[in-house]
Amino acid sequence: MNQDSTVTINRAQHDKKNSAEWEIAETWSKFLYPFLFTHRLKPHIHSCGQDFAEALVADPKHPDVWVETAFQPRELENMLPYVKEYLQLPTNHQRFEMSSASVDPNALFVFSSHSGRPLAFHITDIVLHVFFNGVACLAIDVRPVAEPPSSLTIEDVEWVNAQLASLVRDTPFQLVDQDNWARHPNHFSIANICRERQQLTMRELIDDLLASFYSPDSLLMLTPMADRFLPIYGALLLRPSDRANTETLDEQFFEFAQHHLTILRKTFTPNNISTFSQIHLEDSSHHYMPYHNVIHSQSLDGGFILAYDNGLHHFSGSPARAMESFRTSYFYMMLIPFHQRLSILRYAMAAAHAGLSRERGAELRKLREEIYDFTSRCYFSQASVSEERNHIYQRWQHEFHVVRMYNDLKEEVHDIDNYLADLERERENELRDKAVRRDSRNMQLFGLVTLIFLPVTLLLYAIPDIPILNRWINFSHFPLRSLAVVLGMVAFVITLLLAIFRYLRRGRRTLDRFK
């Protein structure tokens, strides 16, 4: 047996021994599907979230599938007042939950392609978050289960998360028919869809969820922001199988986290781990340990919270209050920076498209107003009165590169301001030059006309006082001769006017040629 095989066996034995010291008390995972939407008749980003929500609720195909749900006070605990207001105001953010009849939280799904024992899970909750600027996020809650519950292992959780998060693998799962959950054969539900098709994949499930309010010919246009892997946010609560030696629990927990926390976050199975995902627990930029029994793991692909029951009331019981807090208020510490990141990407895309438009000046002005509106509404530097949660919020901002992207966006807005100011100055200069040229031509024309008609006017006034002119222009005595003289004068004036107009036209053509 070579050295690599020996190392692999020793590692497997160590993992098995390490896993045997802990039991999984509770776990859940949220799989996030972010996307952008626009309204075909209202292409501007500003306030299109309400148009989306109205189309969502008024969809006649599947009524009563999505229900707008108000926040409970405990969900937004320890948040700063303006952050609470932002999440609760319908003009900023709306939260829709899929009805229990459509989700069927008791329905059991199982992977049929796993080489070992069948791995089952429940889809317990599906929530759609709609933000005012056209950013939306679909959150699918999944809970792995085992029979008996104590037989669920960390490897099972890792495998389920890896298969569901990967849109590339498209691992199929099937419905396990049971008699202990209500069936609604004529209602839109995940269980009914899975039963009709025999099996589903996560990509097909997302398509079906989106189809409940979207179709290619609808007024809504969707742009997905996840192609290969879904960002994941989850939590796992451990309980020591033997509480006799409580002095070494922290050390055992830290050792357990070193072997599993990275994989939970990266959604890779142990035999498919990549070099990039091998981040050590000591790397404080990706791991945060506010308490000795809780570790927050954060990355661009998502995050996972690993905790163990240390005997305190907050971590005991079923369900544990800590897990519900991780699922709600801590999740929003991640969702808001995620929304900020997607928003900045959206504005950057809109700026690129506006630069190619014929009406780019007007579109860039509108986009500038929308970016300023985003800044005033939801670009928070702090989110919580709790130092721990506020630190987690800022870590998520750092992990999603929000601050750097926002600074780049501000520079882009500054460039847009300069560009629009240059356009305005050029337009004003052009209008001023046109006005000067027009006034100059008018003055020239007025001077020439005055020069022409002034001698004629003086001549007409001088006719009665000058005898010689009176003899030549006297219609009572010499009508024919007088008419000939007057016609000659008129012809002379017309000839001069034609010469002047021809000169002005030639000057205008020369000016246009040199523009």
Number of independent structural domains in the chain:
2
Are the beta carbons of 330 and 392 closer than 8 angstroms? yes
Q: Is the pLDDT higher at 20 or at 503?
A: 503
Instruction: Please check whether residues 26 and 166 belong to one and the same domain.
Output: yes
Mean pLDDT of 32-50: 74
Percent over 90 (pLDDT), the chain: 33
Which of 303, 332, 361 is a domain's end point?
332
Do the domain assignments include residue 370?
Answer: no
Tell which wins on pLDDT, 465 or 159: 159
Which of the two residues, 313 and 184, has the higher pLDDT score?
313
Shared-domain flag, residues 314 and 458: no
Token pair, residue 18, equals 């390490």
- What Cα–Cα distance (Å) separates residue 269 from each residue in 161, 207, 277, 440? 9, 25, 11, 80
Q: Is the pLDDT of residue 13 over 50?
A: no
251 in the same domain as 104: yes
Q: How confident is the model at residue 16 (pLDDT cuts 50, 70, 90)?
A: very low
319, part of any domain: yes
**Residue 432, number of CB atoms within 10 A of its CB:** 10
Instruction: Please indicate whether residue 486 or residue 384 has the higher confidence score (pLDDT).
Output: 384
Residue spans of alpha helices (H) in 99-145? 100-103
Question: 7-16, 208-217, 255-264, 490-499: which has the minimum mean pLDDT?
Answer: 7-16
Q: Within this chain, do residues 83 and 220 fall inside the same structural domain, yes or no?
A: yes
Provide the β-strand partners of residue 129: 95, 137
Domain termination residue (choose one: 332, 355, 387): 332
- Which sign does the torsion angle of CA 184, 207, 202, 92 carry? negative
Is there a domain that residue 425 lies in? no
Element counts in the chain: helices (H) and strands (E): 15, 12
Backbone torsions φ then ψ of 437, nearest 5 degrees: -65, -40
Place of tokens 């900045």: 344
| Residue given tokens 């000016």 in the structure block | 511
Residue range 22-28: mean pLDDT, rounded: 93
The per-residue pLDDT for range 343-397, each reduced to its tens digit, is: 999 998 888 877 777 777 777 788 888 888 899 999 999 999 999 999 999 999 9
When pLDDT is averaged across residues 59-76 and rounded to a whole number, the result is 81
Mean pLDDT of the region 293-304: 91
* SS3 assignment, position 132: coil
> Half-sphere exposure (CA, 13 Å, Cβ side) for 370?
22
Q: Average pLDDT of 264-279?
A: 57
Q: Look up the domain containing 221 and give its range.
A: 3-332
| pLDDT tens readout for residues 199-226 | 999 999 999 998 887 777 777 788 899 9
Structural domain includes residue 410: no
Q: Is 475 part of any domain?
A: yes
Rg of the chain (C-alpha set)? 38
| Residues 443 and 328 reside in one and the same domain | no
Please state, in angstroms and rounded to a whole number, the distance separating the CA atoms of residues 363 and 32. 31
Same structural domain, 314 and 454? no
Residues 6+ apart with CB under 8 A from 322: 237, 294, 307, 314, 315
Q: What percent of the chain has pLDDT over 70?
A: 75
- Domain membership flag for residue 463: yes
Q: Is residue 454 part of a domain?
A: yes
User: 397 CB contacts (<8 Å, ≥6 apart)?
Assistant: 337, 340, 403
Pair of tokens at residue 203: 């990509």
Query: Last residue of a domain, which of 332, 351, 375?
Result: 332
Mean pLDDT estimate for the chain: 80
Let me know whether 49 and 170 are in one domain.
yes
Cα(114)–Cα(120) distance, integer angstroms: 11
Q: Is residue 160 part of a domain?
A: yes
Query: Strands 232-240 and 302-308, how do they pair?
Result: parallel
